Structure 1
Amino acid sequence: MINQDLAKIFIEMAELLEMQDVPFKPRAYKKASESIASSGTDVREVYKKGGVKALMGIPSVGRGIAEKIDEYLATGHVREYEQMKKKIPVDISGLTAIEGVGPKAIKTLWLKLKIKSVADLEKAAEAGKIAGLAGFGKKSEEKILKGIEFLKQSGGRWRLGDILPYVRALEAELKSLKEVDELVVAGSVRRWKETIGDVDILAVSRKPKVVMAHFVGLKDVVNVYAHGETKSMVRMKNGLDIDLRVVPRESFGAALNYFTGSKNHNVALRQIALKKGWKLNEYGLFKLRGEKEKGKEEMIAGRTEEELYKKLGLRYIEPEMRENLGEIEAARKNQLPHLIGYGDLRGDLQTQTDWTDGKHSIREMAQAAIEAGLEYIAITDHTKTLAMTGGADEKKLMRQMAEIDKINADLKRQGLKFRVLKGAEVNILPNGSLDINDETLAKLDVVGAAVHTSLKLSAADQTKRVIRAMENSNVDIIFHPTDRIINRREPIALDMDEIIKAAKRTKTILEIDAHPERLDLKDEHIRKAKEAGIKFSIDSDAHTTSHFALLEFGIAQARRGWVSAREVINTLPVDKMFGLLK
């Protein structure tokens, strides 16, 4: 949890420094924020091993930032951050959540209109006060209002990737209590939904009172809604609501099933039980006894989820599939797919480096991938029309290919069975052509194409655009096909049925972008594409060495779309994977 607090402080410091036009420092704070947020190790544990010097061992954490972590661990505050917030008292996190509103825009809005919050921004936009500001205009004002409306429609739901590290840290803390025998995070977190509203935790304990006292007394708790012997509800300082229930050991499986959901899945299970003359609830599966013993029940399953499904005549259904979208009928007929496993990926086919907008070198990315257990990665830096990223032109790509040859030769000399593939994330222009010539693309191992600009085309034009790119014989994969940013930017208008048909016809791979801000394709589109016989790649979209850890989000998204390992090309050894490219 403390890692997420520090990550938030440092990203806000970066944005506040950007507002003041301070050079270099914002990038350092952003890199530190990303590194701390994605670290699997609590900074307190790192500090215990050697203080500030040990903290400097965290990637992208220099002495200055390490000293600020030290200050936070000692006082709960970072003085420089507090001073910056007093100087510029704006809700930087809330405002930057709106598409098109960055630190420089916030600076103008603050200086000219004293806008501090999303509410202030909405009021000013509705009054037409933003259109007249330098650097804005009527279209910008309309875009801001649309972004605010989109934010409202998200219903205050958290992106799973934003909150999962926090939840896992809390889970680990509660599991460490000697009074806890079993503990699982249930709900939409367990089903790997792309957004969550709150968190449900279930536990088994011999001393539930002690567990509840610890839970409501957690440092981050700011409001206790309820504090009972077996159930408590709290709000954390980040605004997340969490429920903890302690249930009897014999009912743990039934409770876990019930609180994992989904609601529609649970209703369908209860209907199966009723048809058998049984009753199913969070306490167990019960057989109702005869009329003479009316009111008496016999528990026939409930300790584990597996026995519950078996008793209902079903194969065990993985949590990611529990949406009542055909999984129960498939389980009854023994036709559930064997889902891709969380350790099945051998490679990652979309990574960026410091040749464009990534944070690390090709060698550093390769080393991180080796440490993550991968066998190959494709370097797919952006191309020239994305000037803001320093996108590569044909000459730059040729230089990068030569560099990759040297790196692969070095890896071979070291006896490492790892390969760096030559690739690119080519920009699809509005007419569907690509911004790199075919002669250069033909020399690459992997070509991914993606939409990054002209996002407001009609569905007909956008669909033609992407299909034309797929028809290029050099394009192997369409990266993040709908270009959405969850809770921030709507997907581009695409006729997904036509896209899937074209992918089948052209033998183009569709990517499942694992970055939790994207998770693109959506689960429903994955399921459609799977049923059409499309192959997928699951890629991290890594821009830093820590991003290989994001692959689990893409795997979970694939599992929600019922995908098996054989349908994902980068579960294969590299030479066999090549056989599925164009």
Structure 2
Amino acid sequence: YKETIGDVDIVIAGDDAGPIFDVFARAPSVERVLARGDTKCSVIIDHGLQIDPRVVPSRSFGAALLYFTGSKEHNVRLRGLALRRKLLLNEYGLYRIGAEERGQEIASATEEEVYAALEMDWIPPELREDRGEIDAAKAHALPTLVELAQVRGDLHTHTNWTDGRDPLADMARRSCAKGYAYLAVTDHSPGLGMTNGLSPERIAARLAEAARLNAELAPFRVIVGTEVDIRANGALDYPDELLAKFDIVSASVHSSFAQTREQMTARVVGAMRHPLVTALSHPTGRLLEKREPHAVDLDAVIDAAVETGTWIEVNGGPERLDLPDTWIRKAIDRGATLVANSDAHAIEELEWMDLAIGTARRGWAAEENLANVRGLDAMLASRKKR
């Protein structure tokens, strides 16, 4: 779940790479084969992505998976720990120095076996960045990371009433089929003209539509919320009497990205101090490889979240993955509550919750750190006091 990748390594357990590479090279998406050897093949698929399948003996699969998962920084630390014990760690196994040539590995079949031989707990792949996870594993102090299966609902989605593709009924039924207890529909406010934001009349119609669906899908619950724009002057795009109609109010910046750090921070923190704002969505405003984060003081944002009880979103949109993982960990350490959302604009995009949870896990998030792993009543009760 790193934000971007270069190429893809696929580790395959097998004794004969030839037939595996034959099948792989004939895959419909493969445009050309760059190289082929005894244990590695490199191909280019559509969109220019390079994929490198690597075949290792079954007994070495765990060590190879650990090695090629990385990160480089994590692997360097592990190899250093091994060397201090007069051991050698590579993609084939953990050996006493000199024994690697004889194939006498101490551990290699599973990642768990390799970590245990180094006297530490298995480290989830999302944490392998040399950011304290090795010391935590040695001290048996790693967090129990949140799991996708623990998510009870999605609190940031859009429908065809604004800039989404699908009707609310389809979004709700898909969410219900996923096993969720609730779905918040958070169509846009009017200020961002291109999104056809909801007028007061359409808000009333949306509330009525949700009531009909709730009668049909009970005990599943459609929650009517909004993604309200934070205007350049810091004002919210709906008056309080309309904001009060929504059970979830997610405030977002969608314009005037070039404001100074002081202006943007005041704008965002001011919105978080509003008693009807539940959460801050995509806090940095970045679009990966397209738009840099806007200039906002995230330390001040975290302080405001802790002070006011405003949740900070971990947005699973592939271009966003926002809040970034390093800031997720800082927010958790300081006591802020997070909410992992898909920001889905179509039914298939509800699956982006997986990316939101993966990003949260990279930030060391546990179940207790997320609002939407709670049941409906507990989630609503944990909002800031209105």
Match of 2:238 in 1: 436
The within-5 A match list for 1:338-487 is 338-411=144-217, 416-487=218-289
Match of 1:533 in 2: 335
* CA distance in structure 1 between the partners assigned to 2:164 and 2:357 by the alignment: 23
1:295/1:417 CA distance change after superposition, 3 Å: closer
**Amino acid corresponding to residue 550 of structure 1 in structure 2:** W
2:355 to 553, 562, 569: 553
* CA distance in structure 1 between the partners assigned to 2:346 and 2:26 by the alignment: 36
Q: In 2, are the aligned partners of 1:212 and 1:229 still within 8 Å (CA)?
A: no
1:407/1:225 CA distance change after superposition, 3 Å: closer
1:435 CA displacement: 0.9
Match of 1:510 in 2: 312
* CA distance in structure 2 between the partners assigned to 1:537 and 1:284 by the alignment: 39
2:42 to 228, 233, 258: 233
The within-5 A match list for 1:97-246 is 192-246=1-55
Match of 2:104 in 1: 298
Q: Secondary structure at the match of 1:335?
A: coil
1:265 aligns with 2:71: no
* CA distance in structure 2 between the partners assigned to 1:522 and 1:267 by the alignment: 24
* CA distance in structure 2 between the partners assigned to 1:442 and 1:552 by the alignment: 31
Q: In 1, are the aligned partners of 2:281 and 2:315 still within 8 Å (CA)?
A: yes
1:296 CA displacement: 5.9
1:525 CA displacement: 1.2
1:407/1:224 CA distance change after superposition, 3 Å: closer
Quick check: 464-473 or 204-213, which moved more?
204-213
1:406 CA displacement: 2.6
1:430 CA displacement: 1.1
* CA distance in structure 1 between the partners assigned to 2:39 and 2:308 by the alignment: 57
Compare relative contact order (CA 8 Å, sep 6+) and give the higher one, 1 or 2.
2
1:222 CA displacement: 2.9
1:511 CA displacement: 0.4
Deviation digits for residues 256-308 of structure 1, max 9, x if unmatched?
A: 1011100110010011111111111111000237xxx9976731100100000
* CA distance in structure 2 between the partners assigned to 1:435 and 1:294 by the alignment: 65
Match of 2:325 in 1: 523
Unaligned stretches of 5+ residues in structure 2: none
**Amino acid corresponding to residue 111 of structure 2 in structure 1:** E
Q: Secondary structure at the match of 1:229?
A: coil
Q: What is the identity percentage for the equivalent residue pairs of Structure 1 and Structure 2?
A: 44
Match of 1:32 in 2: none
1:244/1:296 CA distance change after superposition, 3 Å: closer
* CA distance in structure 2 between the partners assigned to 1:217 and 1:514 by the alignment: 33
1:335 aligns with 2:137: no
**TM-score of the pair, normalised by structure 2:** 0.96
* CA distance in structure 2 between the partners assigned to 1:320 and 1:456 by the alignment: 33
**Amino acid corresponding to residue 90 of structure 2 in structure 1:** N
Q: In 2, are the aligned partners of 1:382 and 1:389 still within 8 Å (CA)?
A: yes
* CA distance in structure 1 between the partners assigned to 2:35 and 2:162 by the alignment: 51
Q: Secondary structure at the match of 1:195?
A: coil
Q: In 2, are the aligned partners of 1:394 and 1:437 still within 8 Å (CA)?
A: no
1:402 CA displacement: 2.6
Q: In 1, are the aligned partners of 2:314 and 2:341 still within 8 Å (CA)?
A: yes
1:491 CA displacement: 1.2
1:314 CA displacement: 0.7
Q: In 1, are the aligned partners of 2:15 and 2:56 still within 8 Å (CA)?
A: no
Q: In 1, are the aligned partners of 2:7 and 2:50 still within 8 Å (CA)?
A: yes
1:216 CA displacement: 2.5
Match of 1:274 in 2: 83
* CA distance in structure 2 between the partners assigned to 1:533 and 1:272 by the alignment: 33
Kindly report the root-mean-square deviation, in angstroms, between the aligned alpha carbons of the 2 structures.
Answer: 1.6
Q: In 2, are the aligned partners of 1:510 and 1:535 still within 8 Å (CA)?
A: yes
**Amino acid corresponding to residue 315 of structure 1 in structure 2:** D
1:294/1:361 CA distance change after superposition, 3 Å: closer
Higher helix share: 1
Q: In 1, are the aligned partners of 2:153 and 2:373 still within 8 Å (CA)?
A: yes
Q: Secondary structure at the match of 2:143?
A: coil
**Amino acid corresponding to residue 81 of structure 2 in structure 1:** I
Q: Name the count of aligned residue pairs.
A: 384
Match of 1:69 in 2: none
1:461 CA displacement: 0.4
Q: In 2, are the aligned partners of 1:429 and 1:453 still within 8 Å (CA)?
A: yes
1:223 CA displacement: 2.8
1:524 CA displacement: 1.0
* CA distance in structure 2 between the partners assigned to 1:506 and 1:541 by the alignment: 23
1:384/1:213 CA distance change after superposition, 3 Å: same
**TM-score of the pair, normalised by structure 1:** 0.64
* CA distance in structure 1 between the partners assigned to 2:367 and 2:93 by the alignment: 34
Deviation digits for residues 326-354 of structure 1, max 9, x if unmatched?
A: 00011111110000112111100011112
Q: Secondary structure at the match of 1:555?
A: helix
Q: Secondary structure at the match of 1:480?
A: coil
Q: In 1, are the aligned partners of 2:158 and 2:345 still within 8 Å (CA)?
A: yes
1:547 CA displacement: 1.3
Q: Secondary structure at the match of 2:149?
A: coil
